[in-house]
């Protein structure tokens, strides 16, 4: 948090969180999966199609020491990511993932950190799709994987603790982040979420970009 970081946001997701704050990456016209906003987006107006090498060159021109690859679900495009990342200069590469897909070895070798965000029951995704036991077990054993859980109500913390204990996820690698897209909602939830973090030895992740820029694309 607070470090200068370039982002590349990829399209498409294998899950459909009802509170997703980037539905324009997957909730295209004709997609009947539920999103509480209800709006669908025209694919052509919300996707920029680039060759992998060109995406890599654009990332290199940003001159940042850190690059975050987010989505959608980036690991759906693992083959293209391998090509793109090889175009970059030495950078710290972070991939944000919902934790349901294993990175292939050739991609894994290029990644410095995984920000794994398993989706809890309140996301609206069936557990058999969102919480795959063998994948969670592998991420828990990976020291480069840090876990971020989106929290909307106190019961969500209990679900996190259950997942932590079941898969032996180190508490020091777990962050809890309030769900919300405006500062008022986030601050209200953080007021009790911070106490939960202290009580259970977990970390609080603030949505700093909302505070600084609002819920805007490109931040």
Q: What percent of the chain has pLDDT over 90?
A: 83
Q: Is the pLDDT of residue 218 over 90?
A: no
pLDDT higher than 80, residue 124:
yes
Residue 186 pLDDT exceeds 80? yes
Average pLDDT over residues 14-39: 96
92-120 average pLDDT score: 98
The whole-chain average pLDDT of the chain stands at 94
pLDDT above 80 (res 172): yes
pLDDT in tens, 86-98: 988 889 999 999 9
Name the residue among 118, 79, 75, 120 with its Cα closest to residue 94: 75
Annotate 7-55 with three-state secondary structure: EEECCCCCCCCCCCCCHHHCCECCCCCCCCCCCCECHHHHCCCCCHHHH
Among 67-76, 155-164, 210-219, where is mean pLDDT lowest?
Answer: 210-219
Per-domain residue ranges for the chain?
1-116, 147-219
Structure confidence at residue 200 (pLDDT): 98
């Amino acid at each position: 948090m607070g470090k200068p970081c370039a982002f590349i946001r990829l399209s498409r997701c294998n899950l459909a969180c009802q509170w997703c704050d980037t539905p324009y990456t997957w909730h295209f016209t004709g997609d009947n999966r539920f999103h509480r906003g209800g709006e669908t987006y025209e694919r052509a107006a919300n996707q920029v199609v680039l060759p992998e090498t060109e995406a890599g060159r654009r990332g290199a021109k940003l001159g940042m020491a850190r690059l975050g690859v987010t989505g959608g679900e980036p690991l759906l495009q693992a083959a293209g990511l391998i090509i793109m990342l090889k175009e970059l200069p030495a950078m710290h590469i972070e991939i944000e993932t919902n934790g349901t897909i294993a990175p292939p070895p050739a991609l894994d070798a290029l990644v410095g950190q995984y920000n794994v965000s398993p989706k809890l029951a309140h996301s609206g995704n069936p557990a058999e799709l969102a919480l795959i036991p063998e994948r969670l077990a592998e991420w828990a054993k990976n020291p480069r994987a840090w876990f971020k859980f989106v929290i909307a109500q106190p019961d969500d913390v209990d679900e996190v603790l259950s997942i932590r204990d079941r898969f032996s996820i180190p508490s020091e690698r777990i962050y809890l982040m309030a769900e919300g897209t405006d500062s008022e909602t986030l601050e209200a939830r953080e007021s009790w979420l911070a106490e939960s973090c202290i009580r259970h030895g977990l970390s609080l992740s603030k949505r700093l970009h909302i505070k600084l820029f609002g819920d805007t694309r490109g931040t």
